[in-house]
Structure 1
Amino acid sequence: MPAPEPTPPQSSLPATAAHFGAHVLSAAAARACDIKAAVGGPPCVPSVPAPPAVSVPPPPAVSAPPPPAASLPAPPAVSVLAPPLVSVPVPPPPDTPTLAATPIADLERILRPNGLGTAGLSLIPREQLPTPSEPSEATAGGKPIPGLYHHQVAEPDPVRVEEVSRRIKSWALDEVSLYPEEWAEQFDGFSVGRYMVGCHPDAPTIGHLMIATRLMVAENAVDDCYCEDHGGSPVGLGERLLLAHTALDPVYTTEEYQAPWAKSLHADAPRRAYRSAMSYFGQAASASQTDRYRHDMARLHLGYLAEAAWAQLDHVPEVWEYLAMRQFNNFRPCPTITDTVGGYELPADLHAQSAMQKVIALAGNATTIVNDLYSYTKELDAPGRHLNLPVVIAEREGLSDRDAYLKSVDVHNDLMHDFESNAAALAAEYPVPTVQRFLRGVAAWVDGNHHWHQTNTYRYSLPDFW
Structure 2
Amino acid sequence: MPDPGPSPLQSSLPGAAARFGAHGHGRGAEALDAVRAAPGDLPPEPAAPSYSLPSTGTVPAPRPVPPPDAAPAAEGTLPGGAAAAGTAAPALERLLRGPSGLGTTGLRFARGAQPPPEPATAQADAPPGRPVPGLYHHPVPEPDPVRVEELGRRIKAWAVDEVELFPPDWEDQFDGFSLGRYMVACHPDAPTVDHLMIATRLMAAENVLDDVYCEDHGGSPVGLGGRLLLAHTALDPLHTTAEYHPLWERSLEADAPRRAYRSAMEYFVREATASQADRYRHDMARLHLGYLAEAAWSETDHVPEVWEYLAMRQFNNFRPCPTITDTIGGYELPADLHAQPAMQRVIALAGNATTIVNDLYSYTKELDSPGRHLNLPVVIAEREDLSVRDAYLKAVEVHNDLMHAFEAAAAELAAACPVPNVLRFLKGVAAWVDGNHHWHRTNTYRYSLPDFW
Q: Does the pair score TM above 0.5?
A: yes
2:74 alignment partner in structure 1: none
- CA distance 1:269–1:431, change in 2 (3 Å): same
Residues 359, 375 of structure 2: 8 Å contact kept: yes
**Rounded Cα–Cα distance in structure 2 between residues aligned with 1:389 and 1:400:** 13
2:343 alignment partner in structure 1: 356
Of 314, 323, 338, which residue of structure 2 is paired with 1:327?
314
Q: Deviation at 1:337? A: 0.2
- CA distance 1:223–1:412, change in 2 (3 Å): same
Residues 338, 441 of structure 1: 8 Å contact kept: yes
1:398 alignment partner in structure 2: 385
**3-state SS of paired residue (2:129):** coil
- CA distance 1:232–1:404, change in 2 (3 Å): same
Residues 182, 436 of structure 2: 8 Å contact kept: yes
2:264 alignment partner in structure 1: 277
Q: Kindly indicate whether residue 79 of structure 2 is the aligned counterpart of residue 79 of structure 1.
A: no
**Rounded Cα–Cα distance in structure 2 between residues aligned with 1:178 and 1:201:** 26
- CA distance 1:316–1:214, change in 2 (3 Å): same
Q: Deviation at 1:139? A: 7.4
Residues 25, 415 of structure 2: 8 Å contact kept: no
Q: Which amino acid aligns with 2:30?
A: A
1:18 alignment partner in structure 2: none
- CA distance 1:461–1:75, change in 2 (3 Å): closer
Deviations 1:375-432 (A, max 9, x none): 0000000010000000000000000000000000000000000000000000000011
The runs of 5 or more residues in structure 1 that have no matched partner are 1-70, 88-111, 119-130
2:419 alignment partner in structure 1: 432
Residues 81, 420 of structure 1: 8 Å contact kept: no
Q: Which amino acid aligns with 2:394?
A: K
**Rounded Cα–Cα distance in structure 2 between residues aligned with 1:274 and 1:392:** 31
Aligned positions of 1:35-184 closer than 5 A = 74=27, 77-79=30-32, 86=39, 114-116=43-45, 140-184=127-171
**Rounded Cα–Cα distance in structure 1 between residues aligned with 2:364 and 2:28:** 46
1:221 alignment partner in structure 2: 208
- CA distance 1:439–1:253, change in 2 (3 Å): same
- CA distance 1:168–1:81, change in 2 (3 Å): farther
**Rounded Cα–Cα distance in structure 2 between residues aligned with 1:264 and 1:390:** 39
Of 363, 366, 370, which residue of structure 1 is paired with 2:357?
370
Q: Deviation at 1:86? A: 4.8
Q: Deviation at 1:185? A: 0.1
2:222 alignment partner in structure 1: 235
- CA distance 1:453–1:238, change in 2 (3 Å): same
**Rounded Cα–Cα distance in structure 1 between residues aligned with 2:432 and 2:404:** 16
Q: Which amino acid aligns with 1:253?
A: T
**3-state SS of paired residue (1:323):** helix
**3-state SS of paired residue (2:414):** helix
Q: Deviation at 1:240? A: 0.2
Deviations 1:218-239 (A, max 9, x none): 0001100000010000000000
Q: Kindly indicate whether residue 404 of structure 2 is the aligned counterpart of residue 417 of structure 1.
A: yes
The runs of 5 or more residues in structure 2 that have no matched partner are 1-23, 48-111, 114-121
Residues 152, 180 of structure 2: 8 Å contact kept: yes
- CA distance 1:329–1:83, change in 2 (3 Å): farther
Residues 204, 342 of structure 1: 8 Å contact kept: yes
**Rounded Cα–Cα distance in structure 1 between residues aligned with 2:345 and 2:220:** 32
Q: Deviation at 1:80? A: 7.6
Q: Name which one, 1 or 2, has greater alpha-carbon Rg.
A: 1
2:252 alignment partner in structure 1: 265
Q: Which amino acid aligns with 1:322?
A: Y
1:294 alignment partner in structure 2: 281
- CA distance 1:174–1:185, change in 2 (3 Å): same
Residues 81, 440 of structure 1: 8 Å contact kept: no
**Rounded Cα–Cα distance in structure 1 between residues aligned with 2:160 and 2:133:** 39
Q: Deviation at 1:141? A: 3.2
Q: Deviation at 1:72? A: 10
Residues 211, 341 of structure 1: 8 Å contact kept: yes
- CA distance 1:330–1:267, change in 2 (3 Å): same
Residues 35, 424 of structure 2: 8 Å contact kept: no
Deviations 1:237-279 (A, max 9, x none): 0000000000000000110001100110011000000000000
Residues 80, 439 of structure 1: 8 Å contact kept: no
Considering Cα pairs closer than 8 Å and 6+ residues apart, tell me whether 1 or 2 has the greater RCO. Answer: 2
Instruction: Count how many residue pairs are aligned between Structure 1 and Structure 2.
Output: 358
**Rounded Cα–Cα distance in structure 2 between residues aligned with 1:322 and 1:358:** 18
Q: Deviation at 1:437? A: 0.2
1:306 alignment partner in structure 2: 293
Residues 338, 344 of structure 2: 8 Å contact kept: yes
- CA distance 1:370–1:80, change in 2 (3 Å): farther
- CA distance 1:116–1:218, change in 2 (3 Å): farther
**3-state SS of paired residue (1:78):** helix
2:240 alignment partner in structure 1: 253
**3-state SS of paired residue (1:224):** helix
Of 412, 432, 437, which residue of structure 2 is paired with 1:445?
432
- The TM-score with structure 1 as length reference comes to 0.74
**3-state SS of paired residue (1:154):** coil
Q: Which amino acid aligns with 2:347?
A: I
**Rounded Cα–Cα distance in structure 2 between residues aligned with 1:74 and 1:140:** 38
2:394 alignment partner in structure 1: 407
**3-state SS of paired residue (1:410):** helix
- CA distance 1:403–1:183, change in 2 (3 Å): same
**3-state SS of paired residue (2:426):** helix
2:177 alignment partner in structure 1: 190
**Rounded Cα–Cα distance in structure 2 between residues aligned with 1:306 and 1:86:** 41
Q: Deviation at 1:83? A: 6.7
Residues 214, 220 of structure 2: 8 Å contact kept: yes
**Rounded Cα–Cα distance in structure 2 between residues aligned with 1:317 and 1:276:** 36
